[in-house]
Amino acid sequence: MEIARTVEEARRIVRGWKKDGLDIGLVPTMGYLHEGHGSLIAAARKENARVAVSIFVNPTQFGPNEDLARYPRDFERDRALCENMGADLIFHPEPEEMYQGAQAFVDIGLLADTLDGAARPGHFRGVCTVVSKLFNIVQPDRAYFGEKDAQQLAIIKKMAFDLNFGVQVIGCPIVRESDGLAKSSRNTYLNAAERAAAPVLYRAIQHGKSIIKKGMPAQMLISEMEKVLAAEPLAKTEYVAVVDAMTMQPVDTIEGAVLVPLAVRVGSTRLIDNFSFAPQG
Ligand code: PAF
């Protein structure tokens, strides 16, 4: 496994692979890897001759009062995990390498105005910009993202299509702890009491899944899920929504394929989760 810390090093390695006709899978990450990332690397390993993992805590996707400085980092642990999983390259640049003097950014419209885009202004601009840069540097055939960040996945798929990146964007299922909490690098922020409270998101999802059906008013589902969340004193609901799975715009009634995303603060940690529903017939 090689480690590239500059764009030029990564390009040199990728050029060699391209010359040999090898197809490339990219797993973009911000490091502090967990089994969710592991499942992305495993999927990439299965489907590509070469696998690149990027580890870069991307400053442009954090708001001024967000957790950029304290976002967890452990490169040695990440390196060992990538090596064990058979990755061929880690791209691990410094912020200056990626953004020195940068003036061009990638914006996406409507899809980024709702949900996490509304709660975190500028977040998806930062995500789209860094993912575009990674696509241009690594030139992957396929790129892998977790379904936990469902809006991010929808936005990156649309961006890749609209800007003709020629990359197949692949979503992989959410990986959960045994009590249902979705794996996330941010789970490390939770203290013991908050960690015990955090599976309330999953309980709300389970309840939602048990009652959702075609023709149901979205607000009825939202209220039911909010009730489950309200029963946990350490949890503060930011939103529960029912949106069209493609456009991310709210729906009134459940008719077609929908996404049901939620964002909840447990203590000061913001957790997100979601489920999808497609009515039969
Ligand atoms: O999902 C993430 O970890 C990040 O948003 C990503 C896609 C690596 C871009 O920095």
User: What CATH number is attached to the domain comprising 218?
Assistant: 3.30.1300.10
Same domain, 112 and 243: no
Q: How confident is the model at residue 162 (pLDDT cuts 50, 70, 90)?
A: very high
Instruction: Please report the sign of the dihedral spanned by the C-alpha atoms of residue 129, residue 133, residue 139, residue 145.
Output: negative
Residue nearest to atom 3 of ligand 1 (CA): 29
Domain boundary among 172, 193, 227: 172
> Is 37 among the catalytic positions?
yes
Instruction: Give the span between the Cα atoms of 56 and 163, in whole angstroms.
Output: 23
Q: What is the mean pLDDT of residues 129-146?
A: 98
Residue 238 has pLDDT above 80, yes or no: yes
Ligand 1 site, residue 30, Cβ cutoff 6 A: yes
Q: Tell how far CA 281 is from the center of its chain.
A: 30
**Residue 222, Cβ neighbours under 10 Å: how many?**
19
Q: What is the mean pLDDT of residues 224-242?
A: 98
Same domain, 23 and 101: yes
Instruction: Among 60, 125, 127, name the best residue to mutate to test ligand 1's pocket (greatest count of ligand atoms within 8 A of Cβ).
Output: 127
Residue 6 has pLDDT above 90, yes or no: yes
Same domain, 110 and 224: no
Instruction: Give the span between the Cα atoms of 134 and 142, in whole angstroms.
Output: 12
Same domain, 208 and 231: yes
Which is nearest to 209 in space by CA: 279, 256, 276? 276
Instruction: Among 34, 40, 129, 131, name the best residue to mutate to test ligand 1's pocket (greatest count of ligand atoms within 8 A of Cβ).
Output: 131
pLDDT at 280: 86
Q: What is the mean pLDDT of residues 57-75?
A: 97
Domain limits at 112? 2-172
Is 117 within 8 Å of 124 (Cβ atoms)?
Answer: yes
Number of domains in the chain: 2
pLDDT at 193: 98
Average per-residue pLDDT in the chain?
Answer: 97
Same domain, 133 and 209: no
Ligand 1 site, residue 131, Cβ cutoff 6 A: yes
Residue 88 has pLDDT above 80, yes or no: yes
Residue 131 lies inside a defined structural domain of this protein = yes
Residue 64 lies inside a defined structural domain of this protein = yes
Amino acid at 10: A
Same domain, 98 and 21: yes
Same domain, 100 and 227: no
Q: How confident is the model at residue 62 (pLDDT cuts 50, 70, 90)?
A: very high
Q: How confident is the model at residue 222 (pLDDT cuts 50, 70, 90)?
A: very high
Same domain, 209 and 83: no
* Options 37, 92, 123, 207, the catalytic residue: 37
Same domain, 154 and 215: no
Amino acid at 218: A
Q: What phi and psi, each to the nearest 5 degrees, are found at residue 136?
A: -70, -35
Same domain, 220 and 151: no
Share above pLDDT 90 across residues of the chain, in percent, rounded to a whole number: 99
Residue 168 lies inside a defined structural domain of this protein = yes
- The residue with tokens 């950029």 is 68
Which is nearest to 120 in space by CA: 272, 276, 274? 272
Same domain, 196 and 158: no
- Number of Cα atoms under 13 Å in the Cβ half of residue 8: 1
Residue 47 lies inside a defined structural domain of this protein = yes
Residue 44 lies inside a defined structural domain of this protein = yes
Which is nearest to 263 in space by CA: 242, 281, 237, 244? 237
Residue 21 lies inside a defined structural domain of this protein = yes
Q: Two tokens at 277?
A: 């529903």
Q: What is the mean pLDDT of residues 119-144?
A: 98
Q: How confident is the model at residue 41 (pLDDT cuts 50, 70, 90)?
A: very high
pTM of the model: 0.97
Ligand 1 site, residue 149, Cβ cutoff 6 A: yes
Share above pLDDT 70 across residues of the chain, in percent, rounded to a whole number: 100
Beta strands 89-91 and 2-4 are parallel
Cα of 219 vs centre of ligand 1, distance in Å, is 31
Ligand 1 site, residue 29, Cβ cutoff 6 A: yes
Q: How confident is the model at residue 228 (pLDDT cuts 50, 70, 90)?
A: very high
Domain boundary among 143, 172, 201: 172
Residue 37 lies inside a defined structural domain of this protein = yes
Residue 52 lies inside a defined structural domain of this protein = yes
